[in-house]
Structure 1
Amino acid sequence: MEALSHLESFVQSAEAGSFSAAARRLGLTPAAVSKNVARLEARLGVRLFQRSTRRLTLTETGEGFLRQVSGGLATLQDALANVSTVSGQPAGTLKVSMGQAFGRAYVVPLLGDFLARYPAVLPDWHFDNRQVDLIGEGFDAAIGGGIELTPGLVARELGRVHVVAVASPGYMAARPMPQQPADLAALDGIVRRSSPTGRVRAWTLRNAAGEEGAVEPKPRAIFSDPEAIALAVRMGLGVALLPMPFAAPGLASGEFVRLLPGWHADAGALSLYYPGKKLLPAKTRVFVDFVVERFRAADFARRMRGD
């Protein structure tokens, strides 16, 4: 296994262009990665990198060696991961990224059943409202929307997420119900600021007839978290454009009333992302299958539609 770690350090350093970047991917220190590469060079009797204070570049020999070993190394890593089991069961740390509020509401409740089925898997779940680099940051999977499908990634769509207008029954009790998206401008808006861009989100609603209408409620409060927006709506502070994962519970319980039925915005697909390896590690494979199975059984895709 020592030779394997030396090869991993070499390949990651060549792909990332530095020992520091390779160290972040491998969970090692830059000094350890540099030492691994130096030991590999000593064993082969050749110099694989030209080193300087600013750059790390492959030698001609290093370029040829990289072409020869990179594919075989990936296959070997997959094979080792695939047999990582305890008593024939999938095992190991399962590193997954998901949105904070969505993960708490829809994924964590599944954890008890997942652990009962796969007790040797250790969930290491990261609740981040950001797009992660699955391969570069060493994640086994991620759940979210809008993640760039770069080479080497696979996406399993869980459902398309629609955005709908909601308010509390108490807030609307003394107010006329809006008939068109433009009517929302007369109501207090609980609006959302996008964490990645810092801008207040603007929405255009559409109906089945293909008509469109811009939504411009007067801001009463601005939040960056959809769960906080949902809470403010429950408190009767105004109307909001909420993604269905956060609107559906309130609509089902009667805490929310749907405004402009039939009008919605499409926020895109919510998907489960994972590295597209020929031999997917058993822990990742069973997690993917489990999540897809449970979301399908819960009719998640239909429940996320607002049309």
Structure 2
Amino acid sequence: METLANLESFVRSAELGGFSAAARHIGLTPAAISRNVALLERNLGVRLFHRNTRKLTLTEAGERFLQSIRGNLDALQSAIADTSADQGAPAGTLKVSVPMSLGTRYLLPMLPAFLHRYPDVRIDWQLESRQVDLVTEGFDAAIGGGFELSPGVVARPLAPAHIVAVASPSYVKGRKKLVSPEDLGEWDGIVMRSSNSGRIRIWTLRDARGNEAPAPIKARVILNDPGPMTEAAVQGLGVAMLAMPDVLPHLESGSLVRLLPHWYADAGSISLYYSTRMSLPAKTRVFIDYVIEEFRHHRYAERFAGSPG
């Protein structure tokens, strides 16, 4: 009978296009993946891959074999994970990607209690505002919004990602009251340039009745991260369009005020992303459960909502 390691090495190599990517996904070395696949080919008596220095492609026999076992492998791994879910304490390095401001303000404060509960877990977090590839980059999980879901990656929504217009009380003082989003064009804007496209984002706002209108903020200050944008708004440099998690503490303290409170932009959801292609390690499983419970406990889904009511 063929081993599960050999079968998984073959399937992940086929899905990810190479032994190195499969090795990062499974947690083995490329040499071990190559050896497992070679053993599988020897046992089956067929060549599964065409190999060269630049590319790994399936043979016709490999294509047929992949289609035959892919779903069965996932089902088998899920069954093993379910059976062994209660075996062993969570341990090992937990590699997570999370945006800087969200991670610093909301996720890091969760860590003391989490690490006290699971003392054998080590933290390896990357706090940066970018979409990571969980599989090829070896992350256990990621938290953020707008990720493109690759095969085997799921998203668990945690809270809405609503964008609102804010400014400091000192900046607003003495200015004409805003009636509609179009009025923002007369005010100084603190805007963000996308690191991917190099473009400045222009938001379209909506209200409870479903009306939509652009927010034509003129760029006075251009930054590349929500954290500095929030601080610039607190310093009175202009109006910023920011996600509720970034500005909530300042709205609660009064260092920022919300403009046009009946208008917001819907940027989707803040979600927790993780892979289901292989059985989840205990460290990842308890982290997912812990974050979901903490978001519920602090009512972040309600507090991050920028929509009226």
Shorter-chain TM-score: what band?
A: 0.7 to 0.9
From the superposition, tell whether residues 138 and 83 of structure 1 become closer, same or farther in structure 2 (CA, over 3 Å). farther
Q: How does 1:118-157 map to 2 (within 5 A)?
A: 118-157=118-157
Shift of 1:97: 1.9
- The amino acid of 1:207's aligned partner reads D
Deviates more, 1:57-66 or 1:293-302: 57-66
- State how 1:103-114 maps to structure 2 within 5 Å: 103-114=103-114
Q: RMSD in angstroms over aligned alpha carbons?
A: 2.9
Matches within 5 A, 1:1-307: 5-26=5-26, 30-42=30-42, 46-67=46-67, 70-71=70-71, 73-74=73-74, 79=80, 83=84, 88-276=88-276, 280-306=280-306, 307=308
Offset from partner CA, 1:212-255 (integer Å, 9 cap, x none): 32211221110110110000011111111111011111110110
- Is the Cα contact below 8 Å between 2:160 and 2:304 reproduced in 1? yes
Verify the 8 A CA contact 1:158 1:295 in the aligned structure 2.
yes
Q: CA deviation at 1:149?
A: 3.5
> Contact (CA 8 Å) 2:81, 2:280: kept in 1 or not?
no
Q: Which runs of 5+ in 2 are unaligned?
A: none
- 8 Å CA contact 1:85, 1:91 repeated in 2: no
**Cα separation, 2, equivalents of 1:81 and 1:139:** 21
Contact 1:84-1:92 within 8 A present in 2 as well: no
Q: 1:81 to 1:53 in 2, by over 3 A?
A: farther
Answer yes or no: is the 8 Å Cα contact 2:100–2:227 preserved in 1.
no
Deviation track 1:104-156 (CA, whole Å, cap 9, x = no partner) reads 11111101111111222223222232222223433322211111234433322
Change over 3 Å in CA distance of 1:20–1:233 after alignment to 2: same
Give the SS at the match of 1:89. coil
Secondary structure in 2 matching 1:135: helix
Q: Number of residue pairs matched?
A: 305
Q: Is the 8 A contact 2:208 2:262 kept in 1?
A: yes
Deviation at 1:303, TM superposition (A): 0.9
**In structure 1, how many angstroms separate the alpha carbons of the residues matched to 2:155 and 2:16?**
24
SS at match of 1:220: strand
Query: Residue 83 of structure 1: CA displacement?
Result: 4.2
In structure 1, stretches of 5+ residues that fail to align are none
Look up the SS of the partner of 1:232 in the other structure.
Answer: helix
In the superposition, relative to structure 1, how do residues 26 and 10 fare at CA in structure 2: closer, same or farther (>3 Å)?
Answer: same
Distance 2:131 2:218 in 1: 30
1:43 deviation in Å? 5.5
Identity level (%) = 56
Shift of 1:19: 3.0
Answer whether contact 1:82 1:279 (CA < 8 A) is retained.
Answer: no
Could you tell me how far 1:187 is from its partner in structure 2? 1.4
C-alpha displacement of 1:201: 0.8
Distance 1:105 1:117, change over 3 A: same
Contact 1:144–1:270, Cα closer than 8 Å, also in 2: yes
What is the Cα deviation at residue 279 of structure 1?
5.4
Superposed CA deviations along residues 235-289 of structure 1, whole A, max 9, x for unmatched, are 1111111110111111101100121121111111111122346954322222111
CA distance in 1, matches of 2:103, 2:83: 26
In the alignment, is the contact (CA less than 8 A) between 2:77 and 2:278 conserved in 1? no
Separation in structure 2 between the aligned mates of residue 45 and residue 64 of structure 1, nearest angstrom:
14
Contact 2:160 2:268 in 1 (8 A): yes
Displacement, 1:22? Answer: 3.0
Deviation larger for 39-48 or 265-274:
39-48
Could you say if the C-alpha distance between residues 10 and 277 of structure 1 is closer, same or farther in structure 2, counting changes exceeding 3 Å? closer
